Amino acid sequence: MTTARHRPARGWLPLAILVLTLGAGPASAVRVDNWDAYPVGPLDLAGEWSRYPPGRVAFKQPPSIVQDEARRVVELTTANEAMRIGRRLTIDLTGTPWLTWEWKVLVLPDGADVRHPRRNDQAGRVMVVFEGLKGIQYVWDTAAPVGTEARPDELEIFQRVLVVVRSGPRGAGQWVRERRNVAEDFRRLFGEPPPPVKLVAVESHSNDTHTRTAVRFGSLRFEAR
């Protein structure tokens, strides 16, 4: 009796990889944050994350990577200043329209209110900038009700809308997760299909109220659903 020898089906391996690749479809998520790629301490703003617009005056306390609940996150702390750091990347909202993020507000700016241009400070903002000089900022305001929308720069070339998704001290000191359909928000706010995203940023502001703020940001990503 002859025993058949088992030979590895090496010829099928490339074909299997090709089938799996073709069946994978578009990416289901685009990660924006990469805090775990940095050591604890001041965040390097000469790499993927940078200050915008460029400023000559140094931050009183630079953005820092800190350890929080066994993971690395970024912390923004301000004193009568505006802090904005962004990462440039191209995102097609057709495939990944949902933005999810985590933030923990530590200090709200006293007297701030997005409805008043001279008091338009927030502890935390997530900014999405699109091709074509338009932007949406999702904010944690001190006083304005959730759902408030403000257009503080209607006469400027760059059009932005601030959308209040959290308000007041409730939830402060705790991690809070948010989820927004950015594509739908853009259509509703600007009356046209959304162009590609070109920059995502995190911010903290206290310059209008001459106060202080502190906030931490964890995961930020765009998802298919």
Q: Write out the chain's pLDDT in tens, 225 residues.
A: 444 444 444 443 333 333 333 334 456 899 999 999 999 999 999 999 999 888 888 999 999 999 999 999 999 999 999 999 999 999 999 999 999 999 999 999 999 999 999 999 999 999 999 999 999 999 999 999 999 999 988 667 899 999 999 999 999 999 999 999 999 999 999 999 999 999 999 999 999 999 999 999 999 999 998
- Rounded CA-CA distance 29/111 in Å is 37
Contact 54, 194 (CB under 8 A): no
The superfamily CATH assigns to domain 26-223 is Galactose-binding domain-like (2.60.120.260)
What is the greatest pairwise CA distance in the chain? 93
The closest of 165, 88, 154 to 124, measured between CA atoms, is 165
pTM above 0.85, yes or no: yes
Q: What is the gyration radius of the CA atoms in the chain, in angstroms? A: 22
101 beta partners:
178, 220
Contact 225, 98 (CB under 8 A): yes
pLDDT, position 27: 61
